């Protein structure tokens, strides 16, 4: 299907200022210039404009004066593969012309190359184990892989019990149900997180109460927790955000002092450590997610961990319809079906067999990002406290617009124009409709991070040269924006 050309085509009478406005909108770094008869006459890139302005051109000059008249173009008479073959690292957007020389389509670098934020790597024994499930007919939630996956997970964490569930949200719901969170209870949740811990609390009938995050670790600020504890508070949910552990010691001290449970939300932090202890083993219950963008995946899936036999048994009962193991169809309590299938567990086991490999490679990715991004003005690198092993679920940065001269959203749009997928941080929970009762409170750190944070591609198998490409693009976009901002202000 031909693409919308309105953001890439400009008329020959446009000024450099008009072209810059179009470049801001299209985030492709290039415009095609056509005459009044719609015939393509030239091309202008943001680099061309920057160089022209540095050489004394005026922002009010006509685009025609500075455009490149020699350009590469595809043809309607060529097939898609032939037109795509014109794209390379330097020529990233190619107009497709008809026999009259009119631009009728455009071939984009992003048709050719796209780097996702995260993609699963299923190159271990996943296929072998799944085929075994199919061959033996054990495709539902009974079968040897369920036990083996749970055992491998418990062993990796040196924790007594691990119980697999259908997803990370179910893991949180199950943990809350086992702790009998209900009406009249309050639960403390960081204001900056994926919504699941707060929404599951609501679905238990309880009220999530938000606490701001720490500006440095991006995770719940222990110093702000006690202010929000009331006689109704029943639990705290520290979320190990983007792979960095929360400062657990003070959280546990507060929890014990006020007789509160702690559910660690480890969805984003499998393998992260706090003072040498794996996350998910410090509080009463750990909840994990194996969605396809997580460090290991089962497609959809999750796990709860605990060292308490009592909590483990409660969660097992609730996971399986509240049905006792001893007596089939005898339901001791009302429960859920939150089981994981043997097929999914087979994938999970194969993934767990590679967890150390995944995490070691991530360290290389992170070192590569760090090295290249550390000197960009206004870009703040992800946290790493001395006591923490951050596993950098997604390598995430903060764009301080005052310092960098570029807003987070513009940077994301420009990277998307180069085929690089990114994610903005979560919206603060207090700003979202289900939690409007918290809207009038202030959460300055959460607000700041939410509006300026973004995550960069961090797949377990991302090529190191692709990391270099992301860094080179960020450097080039920030440099270019700074120069153009300065020149525009002249
Ligand atoms: C912090 C956090 N908690 C919970 C979840 C929910 O996990 P799932 O998507 O497996 O339900 C996520 C998912 O992204 C998450 O990031």
Task: Please say if 294 is a catalytic residue.
Answer: yes
Q: Is 113 in the pocket of ligand 1 (CB under 6 A)?
A: no
- Name the residue at shortest CA distance from atom 12 of ligand 1: 267
Q: How many CB atoms lie within 10 A of CB 440?
A: 7
CATH class of this structure's domain 9-112: alpha beta
Tokens of 211: 């606490």
Q: How far is the CA of 148 from the centre of ligand 1 (A)?
A: 23
Please state the separation of Cα 64 from the chain's center in Å. Answer: 42
Q: Is 193 in the pocket of ligand 1 (CB under 6 A)?
A: yes
Catalytic residue among 294, 314, 389, 469: 294
Q: Is 297 in the pocket of ligand 1 (CB under 6 A)?
A: no
Nearest atom in ligand 1 to the alpha carbon of residue 289 is 10
Q: How far is the CA of 80 from the centre of ligand 1 (A)?
A: 40
Fold of 355-488: 3.90.1150
Kindly report the three-state secondary structure assignment for every residue of the chain. Answer: CCCCCCCCEEECCCEHHHHHHHHHHHCCCEEEEECCCCEEEEEEEHHHHHHHHHCCCCCCCEHHHHCECCCCCEECCCCHHHHHCCCCCCCCEEEEECCCCEEEEEEEHHHHCCECCCCCCCCCCHHHHHHHHHHHCCCCCCCHHHHHHHHHHHHHHCCCEEEEECCHHHHHHHHHHHCCCCCCCEEEEECCCCCHHHHHHHHCCCEEEEECECCCCCCECHHHCHHHCCCCEEEECCECHHHCCCCHHHHHHHHHHCCCEEEEECCCCCCCEECCEECCCCCCEEEEECECCCCCCCECCEEEEECCHHHHHHHHHHHECCECCCCCCCECCCCCECCCCHHHHHHHHHHHCCHHHHHHHHHHHHHHHHHHHCCCCCEECCCCCCCEECCCCCCEEEECHHHHCCCHHHHHHHHHHCCECCEECCCCHHHCHHHHHHCCCCCHHHHHHHHHEEECCCCCCCCHHHHHHHHHHHHHHHHHHHHHHHHHCC
d(CA 245, CA 387): 9
For a ligand 1 pocket test, name from 189, 267, 297 the mutation site with the most ligand atoms within 8 angstroms of its C-beta: 267
Nearest atom in ligand 1 to the alpha carbon of residue 169 is 11
Q: Is 270 in the pocket of ligand 1 (CB under 6 A)?
A: no
Q: Is 189 in the pocket of ligand 1 (CB under 6 A)?
A: no
Q: How far is the CA of 357 from the centre of ligand 1 (A)?
A: 23
Cβ–Cβ under 8 Å, residues 417 and 115? no
- Look at the block and give the residue holding tokens 């079968």: 143
Q: Is 71 in the pocket of ligand 1 (CB under 6 A)?
A: no
Q: How far is the CA of 380 from the centre of ligand 1 (A)?
A: 25
For each of the chain's 490 residues, which pLDDT tens digit applies? Answer: 667 898 899 999 999 999 999 998 888 889 999 999 999 999 999 889 989 988 999 999 999 999 999 999 999 999 989 999 999 988 989 999 999 999 999 999 888 889 999 999 999 999 999 999 999 999 999 999 999 999 999 999 999 999 999 999 999 999 999 999 999 999 999 999 999 999 999 999 999 999 999 999 999 999 999 999 999 999 999 999 999 999 999 999 999 999 999 999 999 999 999 999 999 999 999 999 999 999 999 999 999 999 999 999 999 999 999 999 899 999 999 999 999 999 999 999 999 999 999 999 999 999 999 999 999 999 999 999 999 999 999 999 999 999 999 999 999 999 999 999 999 999 999 999 999 999 999 999 999 999 999 999 999 999 999 999 999 999 999 988 877 777 777 6
Is 3.40.640.10 the CATH classification of the domain at 126-352?
yes
Q: Is 289 in the pocket of ligand 1 (CB under 6 A)?
A: yes
Q: Is 286 in the pocket of ligand 1 (CB under 6 A)?
A: no
Q: Is 168 in the pocket of ligand 1 (CB under 6 A)?
A: yes
Q: How far is the CA of 484 from the centre of ligand 1 (A)?
A: 40
Q: How far is the CA of 268 from the centre of ligand 1 (A)?
A: 7
Domain boundaries, the chain: 9-112, 126-352, 355-488
């Amino acid at each position: 299907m031909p693409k919308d050309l309105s953001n890439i085509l400009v008329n020959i009478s446009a000024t450099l200022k008009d072209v810059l406005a179009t470049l801001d909108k299209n985030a492709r770094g290039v415009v095609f210039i056509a005459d009044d008869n719609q015939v393509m006459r030239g091309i202008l890139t943001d680099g061309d404009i920057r160089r022209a302005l540095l050489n004394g051109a005026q922002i009010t000059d006509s685009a025609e004066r500075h455009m490149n008249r020699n350009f590469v173009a595809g043809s309607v008479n060529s097939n898609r593969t032939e037109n795509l073959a014109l794209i390379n690292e330097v020529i990233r957007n190619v107009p497709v012309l008809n026999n009259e020389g009119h631009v009728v389509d455009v071939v984009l670098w992003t048709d050719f190359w796209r780097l996702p934020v995260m993609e699963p790597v299923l190159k271990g024994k996943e296929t072998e184990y799944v085929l075994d499930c199919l061959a033996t007919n054990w495709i539902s939630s009974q079968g040897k892989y369920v036990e083996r996956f749970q055992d491998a997970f418990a062993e990796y964490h040196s924790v007594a019990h691990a119980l697999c569930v259908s997803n990370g949200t179910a893991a949180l719901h199950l943990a809350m149900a086992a702790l009998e969170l209900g009406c009249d209870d309050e639960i403390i949740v960081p204001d900056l997180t994926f919504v699941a811990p707060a929404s599951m609390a609501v679905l238990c009938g309880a009220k999530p109460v938000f606490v701001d995050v720490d500006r440095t670790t991006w995770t719940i600020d222990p110093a702000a927790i006690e202010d929000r504890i009331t006689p109704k508070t029943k639990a705290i949910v520290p979320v190990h955000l983007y792979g960095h552990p929360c400062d657990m010691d003070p959280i546990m001290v507060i929890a014990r002092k006020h007789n509160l449970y702690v559910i660690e939300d480890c969805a984003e932090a499998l393998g992260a450590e706090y003072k040498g202890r794996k996350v998910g083993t410090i509080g009463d219950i750990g909840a994990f997610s194996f969605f396809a963008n997580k460090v290991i995946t089962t497609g959809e899936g999750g796990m709860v961990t605990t060292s308490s036999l009592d909590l483990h048994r409660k969660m097992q009962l609730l996971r399986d319809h509240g049905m006792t193991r001893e007596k089939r169809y005898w339901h001791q309590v009302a429960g859920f079906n939150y089981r994981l299938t043997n097929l999914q567990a087979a994938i999970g086991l194969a993934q767990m067999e590679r967890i150390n490999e995944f995490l070691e490679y991530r360290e290389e990715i992170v070192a590569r990002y760090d090295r290249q991004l550390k000197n960009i003005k206004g870009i703040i690198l992800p946290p790493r406290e001395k006591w923490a092993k951050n596993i950098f679920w997604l390598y995430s940065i903060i764009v301080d617009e005052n310092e960098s001269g570029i807003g987070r959203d513009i940077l994301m749009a420009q990277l998307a124009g180069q085929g690089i997928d990114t994610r903005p941080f979560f919206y603060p929970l207090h700003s979202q409709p289900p939690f409007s009762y918290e809207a009038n409170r202030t959460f300055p750190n959460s607000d700041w991070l939410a509006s300026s944070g973004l995550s960069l591609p961090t797949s377990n198998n991302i090529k190191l040269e692709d990391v270099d490409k992301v860094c080179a693009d960020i450097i080039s976009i920030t440099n270019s924006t700074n120069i153009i901002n300065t020149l525009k202000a002249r």
